[in-house]
Amino acid sequence: MRPLNRTPRPQTFFVSLCALLLLGQNTSGLDAIDPQPGIRTPLERAVESPLPTTTCEGCLLFALSHRPWGEAFDDPVRDLFGYDGGFMRVRLDLRLGVFQGLDVGLTRTNGVAREAYDSWSGDVRLGHTWKPRPGWRLDAGVQVGGTWFEQENAPDASAPWFWSGVGAGFDPMWMGGGVEWHGNSSSPWKSSTSPNATLAIHGQAIVRFQDNLAMVAELSQPVSVYGLPCPAWTFGPRWTTWRHIFSVWLGNARSGGPDGRLVGAQSWGEPVLGFQIVREATMWNTGKPQ
């Protein structure tokens, strides 16, 4: 999508709905699937890019991600590492594990700066894990969905998107990658003459240092049609507790969500300081081991 002037819209209703759904659920019972052997946490993504694993059957996952527009180290004391600069990118995610190996998701990403739209994306994901030997795993997944762009001063728009990825885990590391295509990618730097679609490749790595601490890195490189000059990178620690994840990261990208995470970045440097909170609850208990 191409940018226009906009006034950011509040997301109070969506945040409140997610919070009420999760606070009202029974959190005992099922363990979640994690790509790292030996760790049980609600994780089916690195930071922005998905992983080829699904949310456990009967589980509801809610994720809240913040990515400032302002550079983290330009004036870190006065601007609070970029958080006082405004134009905050907020991504909200809900995922529900329908069956083992199949989940569905809904994502909302707000527009910032000159973007006159908020994007809503829905998808279905299939994933499968093989465990050829103890401590090893192989993962493969595919995701198909669409994005609806809710615009203020122009007709709404929509576009399909597709992702597929693989990965391998061996204690204490998991590594993977994938390819993603979006029919109408978004960027604050897009113009009326820019191509609509973007094809990109993703790479992810997770290294565990102890049961509740890991380092996560991801890279997204646009390879065809529309793309910014540099690949988008993200790097930072992740702390885990019972069915929660808290991540803090540095990254050079300003976009997010399925329509924006694949377009790359304007430069290798000038990183922002972002964070993400992931919470998982049990909607129904199947009694099956996860």
Quick one: pLDDT at residue 28?
32
Q: Which residues contact 96 (CB under 8 A, 6 or more apart)?
A: 55, 59, 60, 61, 103, 104, 105, 283
**Are 271 and 254 in contact, with CB atoms under 8 Å apart?**
no
Quick one: pLDDT at residue 168?
92
* Chunked mean pLDDT (size 10), the chain, 290 residues: 54 42 35 40 78 90 93 88 89 94 96 89 95 87 96 88 94 91 94 93 91 90 96 94 88 94 94 93 71
Quick one: pLDDT at residue 43?
66
Cβ density class 222-247: b for 16+ within 10 Å, e for less: beebbbbebbbbbbbebebeebebeb
Counting Cβ atoms within 10 Å, is residue 200 exposed (0-12), middle (13-18) or buried (19+)? buried
What's the predicted TM-score (pTM) here? Answer: 0.83
Quick one: pLDDT at residue 252?
96
Phi and psi based region of residue 69 (left: phi greater than 0; alpha: psi -120 to 50; beta: remaining): alpha
Quick one: pLDDT at residue 12?
43
Q: Which residues contact 174 (CB under 8 A, 6 or more apart)?
A: 35, 36, 137, 167, 168, 204, 205, 206
Q: What are phi and psi of 13, to 5 degrees?
A: -65, -45
